[in-house]
Amino acid sequence: MANMSEFELTSFAGQNVIVTGAASGIGKAAAELIASRGAKIFALDLNQAGLAATKAGIEKAGIEKDGGQIVTKVLDISSQDAINAVIAEILNEAGQIHALANSAGIAGPTSTNTEEINWNDFHKTLTINLFGSIWLTQALLPSMRTNKYGRIVHLASIAGKEGNPGMSPYNTSKAGLIGYVKGVAKEVATSGITINAIAPAVIRTPINETVTPEIQKYMVSRIPVGRLGEPNEVAEVIAFAASKACSFTTGFTFDVSGGRATY
Ligand SMILES: NC(=O)c1ccc[n+]([C@@H]2O[C@H](COP(=O)([O-])OP(=O)(O)OC[C@H]3O[C@@H](n4cnc5c(N)ncnc54)[C@H](O)[C@@H]3O)[C@@H](O)[C@H]2O)c1
Residue of 256, 262, 175, 259 whose CA lies nearest to 222: 259
Assess if residue 34 is contained within a domain.
yes
Strand partners, 40: 16, 69
* Whether 263 is catalytic: no
Domain extent for 81 = 12-255
Q: Which of 170, 180, 218, 263 is catalytic?
A: 170
Ligand 1 environment, Cβ below 6 A: 21, 23-27, 45-47, 50, 75-78, 103-106, 128, 155, 157, 200, 202-203, 205-208
At 215 the pLDDT is: 78
Assess if residue 38 is contained within a domain.
yes
Ligand 1: nearest atom to the Cα of 204? 1
Q: Is residue 155 within 8 Å of 197, Cβ to Cβ? A: yes
Assess if residue 263 is contained within a domain.
no
> Which residue from 207, 220, 233, 253 has its CB within 8 A of the most atoms of ligand 1, so it is best to mutate?
207
Q: For residue 6, count other CB atoms closer than 10 A to its CB.
A: 10
Assess if residue 3 is contained within a domain.
no
At 44 the pLDDT is: 98
Taking the centre of ligand 1 as the mean of its atom positions, its distance from the CA of residue 14, in whole angstroms, is 27
At 2 the pLDDT is: 46
Assess if residue 197 is contained within a domain.
yes
Taking the centre of ligand 1 as the mean of its atom positions, its distance from the CA of residue 190, in whole angstroms, is 31
Backbone angles phi, psi at 99, to 5 degrees: -155, 155
Count of domains forming the chain: 1
Assess if residue 260 is contained within a domain.
no
Taking the centre of ligand 1 as the mean of its atom positions, its distance from the CA of residue 75, in whole angstroms, is 13
Residue closest by Cα to atom 1 of ligand 1: 203
Residue closest by Cα to atom 11 of ligand 1: 103
Cα gap 220→9, rounded to integer Å: 34
Assess if residue 262 is contained within a domain.
no
Which one-letter amino acid corresponds to residue 3?
N
Nearby residues of 225 by Cβ (< 8 Å), 6 or more positions away: 258, 259
Assess if residue 5 is contained within a domain.
no
Ligand 1: nearest atom to the Cα of 26? 16
Strand partners, 112: 167
> Which residue from 33, 75, 103 has its CB within 8 A of the most atoms of ligand 1, so it is best to mutate?
103
Backbone angles phi, psi at 74, to 5 degrees: -80, 130
At 209 the pLDDT is: 82
**Tens digit of pLDDT at every position of the chain (263 positions):** 445 555 699 999 999 999 999 999 999 999 999 999 999 999 999 999 999 999 999 998 877 666 679 999 999 999 999 999 999 999 999 999 999 999 999 999 999 999 999 999 999 999 999 999 999 999 999 999 999 999 999 999 999 999 999 999 999 999 999 999 999 999 999 999 999 999 999 999 999 887 788 878 888 999 999 999 999 999 999 999 999 999 999 999 999 999 999 89
> Which residue from 26, 220, 234 has its CB within 8 A of the most atoms of ligand 1, so it is best to mutate?
26
Taking the centre of ligand 1 as the mean of its atom positions, its distance from the CA of residue 228, in whole angstroms, is 16
CATH of the domain at 211: 3.40.50.720
Q: Exposed/middle/buried for 214, CB within 10 Å: 0-12, 13-18, 19+?
A: exposed
Taking the centre of ligand 1 as the mean of its atom positions, its distance from the CA of residue 103, in whole angstroms, is 6
